[in-house]
């Protein structure tokens, strides 16, 4: 597990042309109809809204990791806890296609993450290895409300 964490950190720590990408500035609707924001430090991680298996709207962090996903498939794996705005939150991960999705393991952690996006200007996610990823929270409330309305449609 540590091997792929190091690979993710190395890939995301590499400066890219995406550093001025407007997808980092606020939540937006993707061409696939998802609501997302790109993290602003490394440019390789996204936060996105999706409905969990339990039917709750959650914030997922996702990274394009085709090699990792080919090796581990779509099973749920434990992940080291992550600090979200300074609070340690338990996390798990699961691939869907070539994207590795990271999600709070507990309902309390998931609610905390949503609340941080609702009440903050930005959300910092930091690994236990002290690597930081910063996401804009601008536009989150509108995206969350619109996503809620669409998911509640009859």
Give 1's pLDDT tier (boundaries 50, 70, 90): low
Q: What is the pTM of this model?
A: 0.82
Closest CA to 117 of 94, 147, 97: 147
Q: What's the rounded Cα separation, in Å, for the pair 71 and 2? A: 14
Is pLDDT above 60 for 153? yes
Is the pLDDT at 14 greater than 50? The verdict is no
User: CA 11, CA 136: separation in Å to the nearest integer?
Assistant: 21
Q: 87: left (phi > 0), else alpha (psi -120 to 50), else beta? A: beta
Per-residue pLDDT of 63-121, as tens digits, reads 999 999 999 999 899 899 999 999 999 999 999 999 999 999 999 999 999 999 999 99
Quote the pLDDT of residue 150: 79
Tokens of 139: 């536009």
More confident residue, 19 or 107: 107
């Amino acid at each position: 597990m540590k091997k792929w964490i190091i690979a993710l950190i190395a890939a995301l720590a590499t400066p890219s042309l995406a550093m001025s990408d407007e997808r980092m500035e606020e939540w937006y609707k993707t061409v696939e109809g998802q609501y997302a924001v790109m993290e602003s430090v490394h440019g390789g991680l996204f936060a996105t809204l999706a409905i969990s298996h339990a039917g709750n709207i959650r914030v997922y962090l996702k990274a394009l990791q085709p090699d990792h996903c080919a090796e581990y498939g779509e099973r749920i794996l434990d992940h080291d806890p992550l600090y979200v705005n300074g609070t340690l939150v338990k996390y798990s991960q699961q691939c869907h296609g070539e994207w590795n999705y990271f999600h709070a393991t507990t309902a309390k952690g998931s609610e905390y993450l949503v609340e941080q996006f609702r009440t903050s200007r930005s959300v910092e996610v930091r690994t236990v290895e002290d690597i930081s990823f910063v996401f804009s929270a601008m536009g989150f409330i509108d995206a969350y409300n619109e996503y809620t309305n669409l998911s509640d449609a009859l």
